[in-house]
A and B are shown apart, each in its own frame.
Chain A
Amino acid sequence: DAGVTQSPTHLIKTRGQHVTLRCSPISGHKSVSWYQQVLGQGPQFIFQYYEKEERGRGNFPDRFSARQFPNYSSELNVNALLLGDSALYLCASSLASGGFSYEQYFGPGTRLTVT
C-alpha cells in the first residue's frame, strides 16, 4: 500500500515569493495535518483538515494557508516567503480527526529553502 506522498521533494525559492506544497494521504484516510520542522527542532503543528474543513490551526501567521480537496489530498500555501520559512514541511494523514487513539502517518516531507 502506498504511504503518504508529498511533492516536490525539494524546493528553492526567493524571499517574497509564493510556494505551494502538495500531499496525498493514505487511501481511506480523511484527515491531513501539516507540520513545519526547522533544522534541529521537533515538528510544529501548522494545520489540520478533516473532510475538507479546517479542524485546527497552530501558531503561524496568516501567510500560511491550506486546503483539502474532495479526494482528501491537500495543499499548503505560503505567501511572501521569509528566510525563516526554510524548513522541512511534513504532511501526516490519519483515519479520523481526534478521537481516543490518534495515530498519524507521516510523509517524507518537502525540504524548502528560501534564499
Chain B
Amino acid sequence: AQSVTQLDSHVSVSEGTPVLLRCNYSSSYSPSLFWYVQHPNKGLQLLLKYTSAATLVKGINGFEAEFKKSETSFHLTKPSAHMSDAAEYFCVVSVGGSQGNLIFGKGTKLSVKP
C-alpha cells in the first residue's frame, strides 16, 4: 500500500534562509509524488510533481524536490525563504491506475520569521 510520512509537523525558518521539508514515501511500485501548498483559507495548489522522469524536480516559486529511491524520500527545498512562503505543505503520493486517488501526508506547517 502507498503512504507518505512527513517527518516534521512544524518548521520555522528566518526570511532569506534555506527551507527543507522532509517526506518519506512507501510504495509497492514506482510512485507519482507531489507537493501541494495550502495557504490559510485557500485551496490546495500544486507546487511540483515527480513522475519517474528527472529525479530533481523544479516547481513554482523557487521550490524543488529530489526523488531518492534508495532512501524512499522526496524532500522539498528552497534556497531562500520569503514571508509569503508561510503556509501548510503536503507531500502526496498517487495511487494511480484506474482509481488514481491521492494519499496525503499530515502536513508540515512552515513559519517564516522576519
Chain A residues with CB under 8 Å of chain B are: 4, 31, 33, 35, 40-45, 48, 55-56, 58, 90, 92, 94, 97-109
Contacts and interface: CB of A to CB of B under 8 A. Distances in A.
18 contacts: A41-B107, A42-B107, A43-B44, A43-B102, A43-B104, A44-B104, A45-B101, A45-B103, A48-B100, A55-B99, A56-B98, A94-B100, A101-B49, A102-B32, A103-B34, A103-B49, A106-B36, A106-B44
B106 interface: yes
Chain B residues touching A, range: 20 to 34
A102 B43 CA distance: 18
Given A45-B103, A92-B102, A100-B52, 19 more contacts: A31-B100, A40-B107, A42-B104, A44-B104, A55-B98, A56-B101, A90-B44, A98-B97, A98-B99, A98-B100, A99-B96, A102-B32, A102-B94, A103-B34, A103-B49, A106-B44, A106-B45, A107-B43, A108-B43
A interface secondary structure, majority: loop
Interface of B: 32, 34, 36, 42-46, 49, 51-52, 90, 94-107
Contact of A58 (B32, B42, B46, B101): B101
A101 B43 contact: no
A4 B42 CA distance: 12
A103 B45 CA distance: 11
Contacts of A56: 95, 98-101
A97 B43 contact: no
B101 A48 contact: yes
Contacts of B32: 100-102
A31 B44 CA distance: 17
B89 to A, nearest CB: 10
Nearest to A100: B51
